[in-house]
Amino acid sequence: MLDQMMVLAADQSTKNFQILDLVSQNIGNYGNWGYKTQRFEQYLRPDGNVDMVKRVDYAPGANIMTKRDLDLALDGAGFFQVTRPDGTTAYTRNGSLAKNAEGYLITNHGDLVGSGIQVPANYKNFIVQKDGTVQVHLENGKPPETIGKLTVVNFPNPEGLKQLGENLLAESPESGKPVKIEDHKLIQQGYLEHSNVNIHYAVEDVLRMNAGVISNLRVVKAVDEVYREAVQLRQ
Protein backbone atom coordinates (compact mmCIF):
# COMPACT_ATOMS: atom_id res chain seq x y z
CA MET A 1 0.00 0.00 0.00
CA LEU A 2 2.80 2.44 0.95
CA ASP A 3 4.74 1.50 -2.18
CA GLN A 4 1.71 2.33 -4.30
CA MET A 5 1.23 5.67 -2.53
CA MET A 6 4.86 6.62 -3.18
CA VAL A 7 4.67 5.62 -6.84
CA LEU A 8 1.44 7.55 -7.38
CA ALA A 9 2.78 10.65 -5.62
CA ALA A 10 6.05 10.55 -7.57
CA ASP A 11 4.18 10.02 -10.86
CA GLN A 12 1.85 12.94 -10.16
CA SER A 13 4.82 15.14 -9.22
CA THR A 14 6.42 14.34 -12.58
CA LYS A 15 3.18 15.25 -14.37
CA ASN A 16 2.92 18.49 -12.40
CA PHE A 17 6.48 19.42 -13.38
CA GLN A 18 5.63 18.77 -17.05
CA ILE A 19 2.49 20.91 -16.81
CA LEU A 20 4.44 23.64 -15.00
CA ASP A 21 7.06 23.64 -17.76
CA LEU A 22 4.37 24.03 -20.44
CA VAL A 23 2.58 26.81 -18.52
CA SER A 24 5.91 28.62 -18.11
CA GLN A 25 6.42 28.30 -21.86
CA ASN A 26 3.01 29.88 -22.46
CA ILE A 27 3.86 32.77 -20.13
CA GLY A 28 7.22 33.25 -21.85
CA ASN A 29 5.47 33.48 -25.24
CA TYR A 30 2.71 35.82 -24.09
CA GLY A 31 4.16 38.65 -26.18
CA ASN A 32 4.99 36.47 -29.20
CA TRP A 33 2.70 37.46 -32.10
CA GLY A 34 0.42 34.62 -33.21
CA TYR A 35 1.52 32.21 -30.46
CA LYS A 36 -1.05 29.59 -29.44
CA THR A 37 -1.58 28.31 -25.91
CA GLN A 38 -0.48 24.74 -25.22
CA ARG A 39 -1.79 22.56 -22.43
CA PHE A 40 -1.81 19.00 -21.17
CA GLU A 41 -5.16 17.21 -21.10
CA GLN A 42 -5.53 14.21 -18.81
CA TYR A 43 -7.34 11.02 -19.82
CA LEU A 44 -7.97 7.59 -18.31
CA ARG A 45 -6.07 4.74 -19.95
CA PRO A 46 -7.65 1.27 -20.35
CA ASP A 47 -5.41 -0.02 -17.53
CA GLY A 48 -6.98 2.49 -15.14
CA ASN A 49 -3.99 4.84 -14.96
CA VAL A 50 -4.19 8.55 -15.76
CA ASP A 51 -2.04 9.84 -18.61
CA MET A 52 -1.68 13.17 -20.43
CA VAL A 53 -1.65 14.36 -24.02
CA LYS A 54 -0.45 17.76 -25.24
CA ARG A 55 -3.11 19.96 -26.88
CA VAL A 56 -2.86 23.27 -28.74
CA ASP A 57 -5.58 25.90 -28.51
CA TYR A 58 -5.95 27.45 -31.97
CA ALA A 59 -8.59 29.97 -30.89
CA PRO A 60 -7.69 33.35 -32.41
CA GLY A 61 -5.96 36.01 -30.36
CA ALA A 62 -6.94 39.67 -30.48
CA ASN A 63 -5.79 41.57 -33.57
CA ILE A 64 -3.85 44.63 -32.38
CA MET A 65 -3.58 47.74 -34.57
CA THR A 66 0.03 48.71 -35.32
CA LYS A 67 -0.53 50.94 -38.41
CA ARG A 68 2.63 49.40 -39.90
CA ASP A 69 2.25 48.45 -43.59
CA LEU A 70 4.26 45.24 -43.22
CA ASP A 71 2.21 43.96 -40.28
CA LEU A 72 -0.52 41.48 -41.25
CA ALA A 73 -3.06 39.54 -39.22
CA LEU A 74 -5.50 36.79 -40.15
CA ASP A 75 -9.10 37.48 -39.16
CA GLY A 76 -10.11 33.83 -38.85
CA ALA A 77 -8.73 30.32 -39.16
CA GLY A 78 -5.72 29.71 -41.36
CA PHE A 79 -1.95 30.10 -41.68
CA PHE A 80 0.49 32.12 -43.77
CA GLN A 81 2.64 29.89 -45.96
CA VAL A 82 6.39 30.59 -45.91
CA THR A 83 9.51 29.07 -47.46
CA ARG A 84 12.44 28.31 -45.17
CA PRO A 85 16.12 28.83 -46.15
CA ASP A 86 16.45 25.09 -46.86
CA GLY A 87 13.56 25.24 -49.33
CA THR A 88 11.00 23.48 -47.16
CA THR A 89 7.53 24.90 -46.59
CA ALA A 90 6.32 26.00 -43.17
CA TYR A 91 3.30 27.82 -41.76
CA THR A 92 2.77 30.57 -39.21
CA ARG A 93 0.21 32.95 -37.72
CA ASN A 94 2.87 35.62 -37.12
CA GLY A 95 2.44 38.26 -39.82
CA SER A 96 5.20 40.63 -38.70
CA LEU A 97 7.06 40.99 -42.01
CA ALA A 98 10.13 42.77 -43.30
CA LYS A 99 12.12 43.03 -46.54
CA ASN A 100 15.52 41.50 -47.17
CA ALA A 101 18.38 43.10 -49.12
CA GLU A 102 16.84 41.98 -52.43
CA GLY A 103 13.44 43.42 -51.53
CA TYR A 104 11.71 40.08 -50.90
CA LEU A 105 9.09 39.89 -48.16
CA ILE A 106 10.36 37.79 -45.25
CA THR A 107 9.27 36.84 -41.75
CA ASN A 108 11.09 38.18 -38.70
CA HIS A 109 13.19 34.99 -38.79
CA GLY A 110 14.20 35.39 -42.44
CA ASP A 111 11.79 32.95 -44.13
CA LEU A 112 10.42 33.96 -47.54
CA VAL A 113 6.72 34.82 -47.56
CA GLY A 114 5.00 32.41 -49.92
CA SER A 115 7.43 31.33 -52.62
CA GLY A 116 8.88 34.86 -52.88
CA ILE A 117 7.28 38.28 -53.37
CA GLN A 118 9.74 41.00 -54.39
CA VAL A 119 8.90 44.62 -53.61
CA PRO A 120 10.36 47.22 -56.03
CA ALA A 121 12.86 49.60 -54.48
CA ASN A 122 11.12 52.74 -55.71
CA TYR A 123 7.57 52.07 -54.54
CA LYS A 124 5.43 54.80 -53.03
CA ASN A 125 2.78 52.83 -51.11
CA PHE A 126 2.56 49.18 -50.07
CA ILE A 127 -0.91 47.63 -50.05
CA VAL A 128 -2.15 44.18 -49.05
CA GLN A 129 -5.78 43.54 -49.92
CA LYS A 130 -8.00 41.43 -47.68
CA ASP A 131 -7.72 38.52 -50.15
CA GLY A 132 -3.91 38.58 -49.93
CA THR A 133 -3.21 40.46 -53.18
CA VAL A 134 0.00 42.48 -52.74
CA GLN A 135 0.19 45.79 -54.59
CA VAL A 136 2.46 48.82 -54.76
CA HIS A 137 2.08 52.35 -56.07
CA LEU A 138 5.07 53.13 -58.26
CA GLU A 139 3.90 56.56 -59.39
CA ASN A 140 1.55 59.01 -57.76
CA GLY A 141 -1.82 59.30 -59.46
CA LYS A 142 -1.57 55.94 -61.21
CA PRO A 143 -3.36 52.67 -60.23
CA PRO A 144 -1.37 50.27 -58.04
CA GLU A 145 0.49 47.36 -59.63
CA THR A 146 0.05 43.80 -58.36
CA ILE A 147 3.35 42.12 -57.46
CA GLY A 148 2.08 38.88 -55.91
CA LYS A 149 -0.44 37.22 -53.64
CA LEU A 150 -0.07 35.78 -50.15
CA THR A 151 -0.96 32.12 -49.75
CA VAL A 152 -3.27 31.29 -46.84
CA VAL A 153 -3.99 27.66 -46.01
CA ASN A 154 -5.73 25.58 -43.37
CA PHE A 155 -5.51 21.94 -42.30
CA PRO A 156 -8.07 19.22 -41.55
CA ASN A 157 -6.50 18.88 -38.07
CA PRO A 158 -4.36 21.90 -37.11
CA GLU A 159 -3.54 20.33 -33.72
CA GLY A 160 -1.59 17.68 -35.60
CA LEU A 161 0.88 20.22 -37.03
CA LYS A 162 4.51 19.66 -36.12
CA GLN A 163 6.05 22.48 -34.08
CA LEU A 164 9.38 23.66 -35.48
CA GLY A 165 10.08 26.46 -33.00
CA GLU A 166 10.14 30.21 -33.69
CA ASN A 167 6.34 30.06 -34.10
CA LEU A 168 6.70 27.92 -37.23
CA LEU A 169 4.67 24.81 -38.01
CA ALA A 170 5.03 21.97 -40.49
CA GLU A 171 2.65 19.54 -42.11
CA SER A 172 2.47 16.07 -40.57
CA PRO A 173 0.46 12.88 -41.16
CA GLU A 174 -1.73 13.87 -38.19
CA SER A 175 -2.47 17.38 -39.53
CA GLY A 176 -3.38 16.26 -43.03
CA LYS A 177 -2.48 18.08 -46.23
CA PRO A 178 -2.73 21.88 -46.44
CA VAL A 179 -5.86 23.22 -48.12
CA LYS A 180 -5.46 26.58 -49.86
CA ILE A 181 -8.17 29.06 -48.85
CA GLU A 182 -9.57 30.69 -51.98
CA ASP A 183 -11.67 33.85 -52.34
CA HIS A 184 -11.20 34.90 -48.73
CA LYS A 185 -11.11 38.28 -46.98
CA LEU A 186 -9.05 37.22 -43.98
CA ILE A 187 -6.06 39.55 -44.08
CA GLN A 188 -5.92 42.77 -42.07
CA GLN A 189 -3.05 45.09 -42.96
CA GLY A 190 -1.61 47.20 -40.16
CA TYR A 191 -2.55 44.66 -37.49
CA LEU A 192 -0.83 41.80 -35.67
CA GLU A 193 -2.47 38.91 -33.85
CA HIS A 194 -1.65 38.83 -30.15
CA SER A 195 -1.00 35.45 -28.54
CA ASN A 196 -4.12 33.81 -27.13
CA VAL A 197 -2.42 33.16 -23.78
CA ASN A 198 -4.63 34.17 -20.85
CA ILE A 199 -1.95 35.46 -18.52
CA HIS A 200 -4.24 35.47 -15.47
CA TYR A 201 -5.18 31.80 -15.91
CA ALA A 202 -1.53 30.94 -16.59
CA VAL A 203 -0.37 32.51 -13.31
CA GLU A 204 -3.14 30.65 -11.46
CA ASP A 205 -1.95 27.40 -13.08
CA VAL A 206 1.61 28.06 -11.90
CA LEU A 207 0.44 28.55 -8.31
CA ARG A 208 -1.77 25.46 -8.47
CA MET A 209 0.99 23.28 -9.93
CA ASN A 210 3.49 24.49 -7.34
CA ALA A 211 1.05 23.59 -4.57
CA GLY A 212 0.50 20.18 -6.16
CA VAL A 213 4.22 19.47 -6.43
CA ILE A 214 4.78 20.44 -2.78
CA SER A 215 1.86 18.27 -1.65
CA ASN A 216 3.07 15.20 -3.55
CA LEU A 217 6.64 15.63 -2.32
CA ARG A 218 5.31 15.72 1.24
CA VAL A 219 3.57 12.39 0.62
CA VAL A 220 6.81 10.88 -0.70
CA LYS A 221 8.71 12.23 2.31
CA ALA A 222 6.10 10.89 4.76
CA VAL A 223 6.18 7.40 3.21
CA ASP A 224 9.99 7.47 3.25
CA GLU A 225 9.97 8.32 6.96
CA VAL A 226 7.58 5.41 7.66
CA TYR A 227 10.02 3.05 5.90
CA ARG A 228 12.95 4.47 7.87
CA GLU A 229 11.14 3.94 11.17
CA ALA A 230 10.20 0.38 10.17
CA VAL A 231 13.81 -0.41 9.34
CA GLN A 232 15.01 1.00 12.67
CA LEU A 233 12.47 -1.11 14.59
CA ARG A 234 13.80 -4.27 12.96
CA GLN A 235 17.40 -3.52 13.93
Q: How far apart are CA 86 and CA 102, in angstroms?
A: 18
pLDDT of 206 > 50? The answer is: yes
Residue 205: pLDDT over 80: no
* Beta-sheet strands, E only, within the chain: 38-44, 50-56, 63-65, 72-74, 79-83, 89-92, 97-99, 105-107, 112-113, 125-128, 133-137, 145-149, 152-154, 162-165, 168-170, 179-180, 187-189, 191-193
pLDDT at position 2 is 46
Mean pLDDT of the residues in the chain: 86
Binned at pLDDT 50, 70 and 90, residue 213 comes out as: low
171-186 pLDDT per residue, tens: 999 999 999 999 999 9
Q: Checking phi first, is residue 15 left (phi over 0); if not, alpha (psi -120 to 50) or beta? A: alpha
Query: What are the pLDDT digits (tens) for 49-96?
Result: 777 888 999 999 999 999 999 999 999 999 999 999 999 999 999 999
Global confidence as pTM:
0.81
Where is pLDDT greater, at 67 or 123?
Answer: 67
Mean per-residue pLDDT, 185-205: 92
